[in-house]
Amino acid sequence: MSSVLAIDVGGTKAAVRAVTGGTATSGAAAERIVAERTVRWEDGTAAGDLRRLREAAAGLGAGRPDAVAVAFPGTLDAAGVVTRWPTRPSWRGIDLPGLLREWFGVRPLIGDDAAFAAYAETHARDVPTLFYLGLGTGVGGAYARRGDPPERVTPCEAGHVVVRPDAPERCDCGRHGCLQAYASGPRVLAEARWRRGRPVTPSELAAGLRAGHRWAHAALDPAVAALGLTVADLAELLAPAVVAIGGGLGAGVPALTDRVRAEAARRLRAGTPAPDVRPARFGARASLEGAVLAATRTLPVPATNPATNPATNPATDPATGPAADPAATGPTSTTRPASITEPAPTTERKQRHDGRQPARPAPLAVPR
Ligand SMILES: [Zn+2]
């Protein structure tokens, strides 16, 4: 019986999920045991964060999983060492693959959190292309096509797309008018606090929107304007069929998605197809779901299941068949693939998708 461990590392917390039995997508539901835990960072030190993370994994009984995947928002060097994460600078210098291998005895798959989320969202929908926008402590983005394995999903620095260059609002990157300065979770809550006259929690904002309070709807105005413009620009640049909005803010505030869809339609040129703007299907768990799927792909092909084994059923081979669902059809090799934190041709693994050719595997981590 196989087991996978998925970790979604965030700016204020981490979510850990252990899946035992079958696989995340092809195993019979009755055979699967899923356990999940969320831990909040406490003292601001990397040592404290890592201790909490390890305790959470241990609490799930994830001693020696067969595969581990980690969704991470910071920047890694070619060896997987954290080089930059403005949200939690104390993580700089941590050898993430080495540490996780020491903990779990298996080489981890480490990918950009937005890329894993885009992978999961595309996997769950029958659409040719999808752009994921994750609204959390920062704003992440990634572009995926149907059938792309996770390492071909292209993350980007969507939060640092400038939407108002002359605006007074300064992003934490130092520039003015970045999307993140309007649409991050903390920024929207700050706007809500200003409108309401006292602190507002995410659940209070959601409740205020449901109740039709003016302050709550007004609190979304800057984010809606910035996101609507961004989605309109995405339609011109990449023409994604779907824009999925996730992260804590995207998942917890459905009214935001509705308004962004309308604002993007208003901004588009006449006749330009509008992306279908939707809440992320996996909500705030999209990155974690993608990590589970990515880890599952690295498991050896079950020899007793020829219907889903590409080695014995070429029609399901993602390389030659329709392969709408790479994770469901199993990995293409019986050997564990190299970690996507393996050395890449460039030292800083950053690249952008050209919208035409399949991008080189881009396991990047973008600074947010
Ligand atoms: Zn910025």
Q: Which residue range is the domain that position 87 belongs to?
A: 3-116+285-329
**Distance in Å, CA 269 to ligand 1 centroid:** 26
Position 93 in a domain = yes
Q: What is the largest CA-CA distance in the chain?
A: 64
Residues 180 and 85 in one domain: no
**Distance in Å, CA 172 to ligand 1 centroid:** 6
Pick 32 or 366 by higher pLDDT.
32
**Distance in Å, CA 174 to ligand 1 centroid:** 6
Determine the pLDDT at residue 253.
Answer: 84
Residue 326: what are its φ and ψ, rounded to 5°? -60, -40
pLDDT at 105 over 60: yes
Position 340 in a domain = no
Residues 296 and 239 in one domain: no
Determine the pLDDT at residue 314.
Answer: 34
Pick 249 or 191 by higher pLDDT.
191
Residues 181 and 244 in one domain: yes
Pick 252 or 244 by higher pLDDT.
244
- Which tokens go with 267? 């901004």
Mean pLDDT of 356-363: 32
In the 8-state DSSP scheme, what is residue 272? P
Q: How many CA atoms lie within 13 A of 175 on its CB side?
A: 12
pLDDT at 11 over 50: yes
Percent of the chain with pLDDT strictly greater than 90: 63
Pick 29 or 271 by higher pLDDT.
271
**Distance in Å, CA 272 to ligand 1 centroid:** 28
The residue written with tokens 């768990």 in the block is 285
The pLDDT tens digits for 180-202 are 999 999 999 999 999 999 999 98
Residues 91 and 209 in one domain: no
CATH of the domain at 39: 3.30.420.40
Residues 140 and 263 in one domain: yes
- Which tokens go with 21? 């039995």
The residue written with tokens 């002359």 in the block is 166
Least confident window among 209-223, 302-316, 317-331: 317-331
Q: How confident is the model at residue 304 (pLDDT cuts 50, 70, 90)?
A: low
Residues 216 and 318 in one domain: no
Position 365 in a domain = no
- Which tokens go with 295? 């880890």
Q: How confident is the model at residue 303 (pLDDT cuts 50, 70, 90)?
A: low
Rounded distance between C-alpha atoms, residue 143 and residue 138, angstroms: 17
pLDDT at 366 over 80: no
pLDDT at 330 over 70: no
Q: Of 77, 144, 157, 76, which Cα lies nearest the Cα of 115?
A: 144
Rounded distance between C-alpha atoms, residue 329 and residue 315, angstroms: 10
**Distance in Å, CA 178 to ligand 1 centroid:** 5
Q: How confident is the model at residue 227 (pLDDT cuts 50, 70, 90)?
A: very high
Three-class SS of 177-225: CECHHHHCHHHHHHHHHHHHCCCCCHHHHHHHHHCCCHHHHHHCHHHHH
pLDDT at 307 over 60: no
**Distance in Å, CA 86 to ligand 1 centroid:** 11
Mean pLDDT for the chain?
81
DSSP per residue, 38-63:
EEE--SS-HHHHHHHHHHHHHHTT-S
**Distance in Å, CA 311 to ligand 1 centroid:** 46
pLDDT at 280 over 80: yes
pLDDT at 76 over 70: yes
- Which tokens go with 356? 């035409």
| 7, β-bridge pairs | 16, 70
**Which segment, 75-89, 214-228, 318-332, is predicted with the most confidence on average?**
214-228
**Chain-centre distance of CA 57, in angstroms?**
20
Mean pLDDT of 129-153: 94
Residues 112 and 157 in one domain: no
**Distance in Å, CA 350 to ligand 1 centroid:** 16
Position 61 in a domain = yes
Q: How confident is the model at residue 302 (pLDDT cuts 50, 70, 90)?
A: low
**Distance in Å, CA 55 to ligand 1 centroid:** 34
**Distance in Å, CA 175 to ligand 1 centroid:** 6
Determine the pLDDT at residue 156.
Answer: 94
Residues 143 and 254 in one domain: yes
Pick 343 or 226 by higher pLDDT.
226
Percent of the chain with pLDDT strictly greater than 70: 79
Determine the pLDDT at residue 170.
Answer: 83
**Distance in Å, CA 171 to ligand 1 centroid:** 5
Position 25 in a domain = yes
Determine the pLDDT at residue 20.
Answer: 86
**Distance in Å, CA 338 to ligand 1 centroid:** 33
E strands along 235-349, which residues? 242-246, 276-279
Residues 223 and 291 in one domain: no
The residue written with tokens 């005895």 in the block is 105
Rounded distance between C-alpha atoms, residue 171 and residue 159, angstroms: 9
CA angle 346–70–293, rounded 5-degree value: 105
**Distance in Å, CA 265 to ligand 1 centroid:** 25
Domain count, the chain: 2
pTM for this model (two decimals): 0.79
Alpha helices in the chain (DSSP H): 46-59, 96-104, 113-123, 180-183, 185-196, 202-210, 214-219, 221-237, 247-252, 254-267, 286-297, 326-329
Position 361 in a domain = no
Residues 142 and 277 in one domain: yes
**Distance in Å, CA 187 to ligand 1 centroid:** 13
Residues 277 and 293 in one domain: no
Position 155 in a domain = yes
**Distance in Å, CA 135 to ligand 1 centroid:** 14
pLDDT at 161 over 80: yes
Determine the pLDDT at residue 300.
Answer: 78
Position 341 in a domain = no
Residues 136 and 97 in one domain: no
Rg (CA), the chain: 20
Rounded distance between C-alpha atoms, residue 331 and residue 150, angstroms: 12
Mean pLDDT of 212-237: 96
